[in-house]
């Protein structure tokens, strides 16, 4: 059964909904331009509320060291998601400075976008394959758009890679079946409006996977 991450939680009620549904990971976005942004005190409170009931993911975008230090101290994350233009060297430096595992997001629109997989896999604990932000988008992620899953055909992906980008209760089972993903991440697809999580859709998303989506055991995506 795939691991499930619900990203962009910003209220106690929707955090509780994700935990009650059985999410494996909860994501807190610390990026002021985002409608899902949580400040340091909210991040601290939500992280404490989650406790050990799910892994706590702190999402940052090209953080400087001061932002990294403050956000890590507040959110006490189990995993730091880097969703900007961080180079492999910067990913390694952030991982060393924070002393926490790191998941690097890679935006995918064309096959060449996967050329960086090996370099990032060498320095990050996990990779997140997300849709590349559309031209002119205000945010580098959380845009609710999918990429062409067929681009993953035959690509050697490291164990623990996670699929995201436009997933929803309606599409996630097909996405898992077609890509072999053993971990998935969703934000927009479980919202009623940008930044407004919907407990019913969160429950539906988790239930759709728990109902029987299957995935192969290999870390390499199958032909799709």
Residue ranges binding ligand LARABZUK (CB under 6 A): 7-8, 29, 31, 34, 36, 59, 61, 83, 130, 139-144, 164-167, 185-189
Residue 138: half-sphere exposure toward Cβ, Cα within 13 Å: 7
In this chain, which residue has its C-beta nearest to ligand LARABZUK?
142
| Minimal distance, residue 83 CB to ligand LARABZUK, in Å | 4
Cβ proximity to ligand LARABZUK: between 38 and 218 the closer is 38
| Neighbour tally for 43: CB within 10 Å | 25
Nearer Cβ to ligand LARABZUK (192/218): 192
Q: How far is CA 105 from CA 91, 117, 130, in A?
A: 11, 10, 7
Compute the least distance from the CB of residue 17 to ligand LARABZUK, in Å. Answer: 16
Q: Which two tokens stand for residue 39?
A: 């400040």
The dihedrals phi and psi of 148, each to the nearest 5 degrees, come to: -75, 105
Q: Cβ–Cβ contacts within 10 Å for residue 13, how many? A: 10
Nearer to ligand LARABZUK among residue 2 and residue 8 (C-beta): 8
Closer by beta carbon to ligand LARABZUK, 85 or else 218? 85
Residue (19 or 28) nearer to ligand LARABZUK, CB: 28
- Distance in Å, CB of 131 to ligand LARABZUK, minimum: 6
**Burial (Cβ within 10 Å: 0-12, 13-18, ≥19) of residue 35:** middle
State in angstroms the smallest separation of the CB of 142 from ligand LARABZUK: 2
Q: For ligand LARABZUK, give the closer residue by CB, 68 or 223.
A: 68
């Amino acid at each position: 059964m795939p691991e499930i991450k619900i990203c962009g939680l910003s209220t106690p009620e929707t955090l509780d909904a994700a935990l009650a549904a059985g999410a494996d990971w909860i994501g807190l976005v610390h990026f002021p331009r985002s409608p899902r942004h949580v400040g340091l005190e909210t991040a601290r409170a939500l992280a404490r509320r989650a406790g050990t009931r799910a892994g706590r993911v702190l999402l940052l975008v090209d953080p400087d060291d001061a932002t990294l230090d403050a956000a890590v101290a507040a959110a006490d994350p189990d995993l730091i998601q880097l969703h900007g233009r961080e180079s492999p060297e910067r990913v390694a430096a952030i991982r060393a400075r924070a002393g926490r595992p790191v998941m690097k997001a890679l935006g995918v629109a064309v096959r060449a976008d996967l050329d960086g997989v090996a370099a990032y896999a060498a320095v990050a604990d996990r990779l997140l394959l997300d849709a590349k932000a559309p031209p002119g988008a205000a945010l580098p992620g959380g845009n609710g758009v999918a990429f062409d899953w067929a681009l993953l055909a035959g690509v050697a992906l490291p164990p623990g890679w996670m699929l995201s980008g436009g997933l929803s209760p309606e599409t996630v089972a097909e996405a898992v079946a077609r890509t072999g993903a053993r971990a998935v991440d969703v934000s927009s697809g479980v919202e009623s409006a940008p930044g407004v999580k919907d407990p019913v859709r969160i429950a539906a998303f988790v239930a759709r996977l728990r109902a029987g989506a299957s995935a192969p055991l290999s870390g390499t995506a199958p032909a799709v």
